[in-house]
Structure 1
Amino acid sequence: MKSAFLALLIDLRRSFGWLPGIVASILVLCAAVLMAEIVSRITTKLVLRIPGQKRGAFVRSFTLAMRRPARITLAIIFVATALPASGLSYRMMQMTGRGLLVLFVLMLGYAAIVAMRVLSDAYLARIDGKEDRDDILLRTHKTQVRVLRRMADILIGVLTVGSALMTFESVREYGLSLFASAGAASLLVGLAARPLLTNLIAGMQIAMTQPIRMEDLIIINGDWAWVEEITATYVVLRVWDWRRHIVPISYFLENSFQNWTHNSAALIGVVFLYLDFHAPMDRIRARLHDIVRESPLWDGKVFDVQVADCSAQVMTIRVIASARSAMQSWDLRCDIREKIILFLRDHCPEALPRERMAHVASQSGQDVLTAPGVISPAIDRPPPGSYTGPGAAPGM
């Protein structure tokens, strides 16, 4: 086939004998590129006709993604094959062949990156399409695939550029002497690249050990932030008010931080109430139970009301309730506060905290002033039996 291809190009070159030599040679090479384009288009159309809902669809999408690098690579191969029939001088053939070799190596690296991205995207789409997927498992796979894909992009890019440069004799000799000597130059390069290498190695550790994942909720510098993007060298954190923190990836291996969604997105929210000692705990506890039970944000797992502490003025009530995510936990706590404050204001004003004062005479031996309203001011309580809403005591 190669001999027939060369014979065809030689005949074509002879037919252009009336043109200047360089022009005829360029036309022959352009004819080789045109043949490569025709072969590529025919092959692509045949592959796109492969039937199938799953495997056929993947083959078709993979073919479309690889179409451009495949066509350029095929054109390089056809042109390199056509060089002996182009009629170029030996020096021109050497220079053109060297350039084609560099382009071929670069296109192989580009094709490898595109293929790896297509395969990783297909894998993520497959696990994302499962209805019974575990959210933690999904975010784990997303983090590993994306971090390792970026690491592979960098590695393939470095190897591709290095391989292309090594095709030149002068660069190859310099590189070999540099690696053989391992002298001051390589030491300086290593020191200069230390931050980059540190973050690259940290990225590999992040992908393996998983201290953070995509869409994890963490606390950094006092802010709630979601992990929006993990690159090979830094992490993008999205704050609740849409600000972004750009943090070196090595930070998460060298510093402590809070990860609220490491094992599960569910959280237990806490609400503290500061009430007077006259607060009717039975009614308040019943009303809190109704508030939480009626809220769609509660996941139905954890709820409790306890007197957690007390001081000389008030007692501290701790309300705990679980939710499916951190944001739902926040909204649930806000809902609890709003509704219980409304209930206390309208139906249990005696439960609201008050300041207690006692006026004592300056001279010893005299009685404490106990005039009405001095020690404990009057409370505007609703008449008995006036409240029949949620949390009402029996018989009221």
Structure 2
Amino acid sequence: MPSGTTDLLVSTGIVVAVAVALGFAVPAAVKRAGRRWPPADALVRAARFPFRVLVLVIGLNAVVAANRPRGDGAEAWDTLALGLRILVIVNGAWLLSVVVLFVVDAALRRADLELDPRNAKRIRTQVQVARRVVVVAIVVLAFGAVLLSFDGVRAVGASLLASAGLVSVVAALAAQSTLGNLFAGLQLAFSDAIRIDDVVIVEDEYGTIEEITLSYVVVKLWDDRRLVLPCTYFTNTPFENWTRKDSEMMGTVELDLDWRIDLQGLRAEFERCLGETSLYNGRSSGLVVTNAVQGFVQVRASVTADDPGTLFDLRCFVRERLVGWVQAHNPDALPRQRFEVVGEQAAPSALFKPGAA
């Protein structure tokens, strides 16, 4: 066997052995060093495989760089070196994305455990958008580094630098809508205008914010439909956010009743039904007459709950109890329409008798 081949095999074997040793030793060392940090074990499990592949590819790249010939007849070696260089870039981006996403997800889990629900929703929204931005940035940088590994692409890039100004203007005009959505998505995430799980009214529909991306927002409607809106909708169009500051809400139940309603009895039933349900949070309540015209007395009962969904159930519960009490205990107060029947009208004037001149 030629000495060159022997040296290549020996160096390859040494590099593979060192790579395998490092692939097992470094994760074990990190796991031991982070013994007091519970997420360290999960980080090692997530990054172990891409780290081992990256170490092995870097070692093989060094072997090829040290042993490949120069000049004519080295095309196969050049192709192998290019392939290994691309693998280093791809595996480096893979390892970096795994570590970054692990750190981001760990921060998100910690926020869910330690922060109050409102701040946790704000952090979750911002982290999810930032997570997508980081992944896109890593992929774009890796793709650009792979392209620059080819000599032809580098030459084309150098020739295009002179016309970069014109190209940027054309690209900006062509992607105006896309870029507008991109910046609108970032604005929504970090301006705290809407958050994941916020209750909103958009396009006259009631729903909750289910997902916020860099280009669109998904609103889950009350009947499980999904309304997908561009991010620019929430920056250019007024909308209602029922949980902007907190999730507690006040709602009302209105009844049109007869003037013979027993208000004291109805008020006692209202307070009794609130005491029998856990839907009511105890913050505010009241029953008052808000109007008394056109033969009806309008009674309004106001209640509060911890969130919009609970408030809806509470309003239905109060409405059913009050209607049932009126039917059972004060039926005279059920709404009635009154009409007065008058006698026959006077005979027509003689001016309109037949034959009158």
TM-score computed with the length of structure 1 as normaliser: 0.80
* Amino acid in the other structure paired with 2:28: K
Q: Percent identity?
A: 30
The whole-number CA distance in structure 1 between the counterparts of 2:164 and 2:344 is 89
The whole-number CA distance in structure 2 between the counterparts of 1:35 and 1:269 is 69
Task: Give the secondary-structure state (helix, strand or coil) at the position aligned to 1:124.
Answer: helix
Structure number having the greater helix percentage = 2
C-alpha contact 2:199 2:207 (8 A) present in aligned 1 = yes
What's the Cα RMSD here?
Answer: 2.5
Which deviates the most, 28-37 or 238-247? 28-37
Q: For 1:1-396, what aligned pairs fall within 5 Å after superposition? A: 13-14=5-6, 29=12, 32-33=15-16, 35-50=18-33, 52-53=35-36, 55=37, 57-84=38-65, 86=67, 90-130=74-114, 133-182=115-164, 185-363=167-345
The whole-number CA distance in structure 2 between the counterparts of 1:175 and 1:101 is 19
Q: Deviations over 1:176-210 (max 9, x none)?
A: 43343136544443333223211211111112211
Task: Give the secondary-structure state (helix, strand or coil) at the position aligned to 1:129.
Answer: helix
C-alpha contact 1:196 1:233 (8 A) present in aligned 2 = yes
C-alpha contact 1:278 1:351 (8 A) present in aligned 2 = yes
Q: Deviations over 1:231-276 (max 9, x none)?
A: 2211222222222122212211111111111110000011001100
The whole-number CA distance in structure 1 between the counterparts of 2:142 and 2:65 is 27
- The aligned residue for residue 390 of structure 1 is none
C-alpha contact 1:238 1:244 (8 A) present in aligned 2 = yes
Task: Give the secondary-structure state (helix, strand or coil) at the position aligned to 2:285.
Answer: strand
* Amino acid in the other structure paired with 1:66: A
Q: CA deviation at 1:84?
A: 4.6
The whole-number CA distance in structure 1 between the counterparts of 2:310 and 2:297 is 28
C-alpha contact 2:65 2:81 (8 A) present in aligned 1 = no
Task: Give the secondary-structure state (helix, strand or coil) at the position aligned to 2:145.
Answer: helix
Which deviates the most, 79-88 or 104-113? 79-88
The whole-number CA distance in structure 2 between the counterparts of 1:179 and 1:329 is 61
The whole-number CA distance in structure 1 between the counterparts of 2:248 and 2:204 is 20
Task: Give the secondary-structure state (helix, strand or coil) at the position aligned to 2:206.
Answer: strand
Paired residues, what number? 343
Q: CA deviation at 1:116?
A: 1.3
Q: CA deviation at 1:11?
A: 7.2
* Amino acid in the other structure paired with 1:321: V
C-alpha contact 1:216 1:227 (8 A) present in aligned 2 = yes
C-alpha contact 1:230 1:236 (8 A) present in aligned 2 = yes
- Change over 3 Å in CA distance of 1:68–1:295 after alignment to 2: same
TM-score computed with the length of structure 2 as normaliser: 0.88
Question: What 5-or-longer segments of structure 2 have no aligned partner?
Answer: 348-357
The whole-number CA distance in structure 1 between the counterparts of 2:339 and 2:306 is 45
Q: CA deviation at 1:295?
A: 1.8
Q: CA deviation at 1:174?
A: 2.3
The whole-number CA distance in structure 2 between the counterparts of 1:186 and 1:174 is 16
Which deviates the most, 307-316 or 115-124? 307-316
Task: Give the secondary-structure state (helix, strand or coil) at the position aligned to 1:309.
Answer: strand
- Change over 3 Å in CA distance of 1:262–1:12 after alignment to 2: farther
The whole-number CA distance in structure 2 between the counterparts of 1:30 and 1:99 is 20
* Amino acid in the other structure paired with 1:315: V
Task: Give the secondary-structure state (helix, strand or coil) at the position aligned to 2:318.
Answer: helix
The whole-number CA distance in structure 2 between the counterparts of 1:192 and 1:34 is 52
